[in-house]
Amino acid sequence: MTIADRTTPKAMLWTGRVLTGLFAAFMLMDLTMKLLDLKVVADTMTQMGWPTDKARLLGALQLTGLALYLYPRTAVLGAVLVTGYLGGAIATHLRIDSPLFSHILFGVYLALFAWGGLWLRDARLRSLFPWRG
């Protein structure tokens, strides 16, 4: 148990863990599909205007960011890197004129889960970015 765990109310800690778990599960599913080079990934890459041979590289970048995010000592660095990755996904969807709420903003939703989960779990992050109500 870390110091942050001891200073975080139990409900807040578990809500943060659930958000982190949901974020990690989605990222793990997505990066696994890319690393396995599934046909649906190649089709989607083509539709988005990306060369299909870049899927594994994108999956490896996702895996690196997710691993850093899930390791407590590098969680903030991982969150920053994953947020940058998601920004690229947002820009790609914006460029091909995807639907706003279901596609373009999906990266924002994922980033909110990642940062929200981290913020709820870590008292140090909450002191750095306090909620002012």
Q: How confident is the model at residue 36, as a pLDDT?
A: 97
Domain boundaries, the chain: 7-127
Which pLDDT tens digit goes with each residue over 5-33? 567 899 999 999 999 999 999 999 999 99
SS3 content of the chain, % helix, strand, coil (to 5): 85, 0, 15
User: What is residue 132's three-state secondary structure?
Assistant: coil
Q: How many CB atoms lie within 10 A of CB 128?
A: 10
Which pLDDT tens digit goes with each residue over 53-108? 999 999 999 999 999 999 999 999 999 999 999 999 999 999 999 999 999 999 99
Residue type, 3: I
Angle at 68 between CA 12 and CA 102, to 5 degrees: 70
Q: How confident is the model at residue 91, as a pLDDT?
A: 97
Q: How confident is the model at residue 133, as a pLDDT?
A: 79
Q: Could you tell me the pLDDT band of residue 3, with boundaries at 50, 70 and 90?
A: low
Q: Determine the length of the chain.
A: 133
Q: How confident is the model at residue 4, as a pLDDT?
A: 56
Would you say the C-alpha torsion 45, 48, 54, 57 has a positive or negative sign? negative
User: What is residue 87's three-state secondary structure?
Assistant: helix
Mean pLDDT for all residues in the chain: 95
Q: How confident is the model at residue 15, as a pLDDT?
A: 98
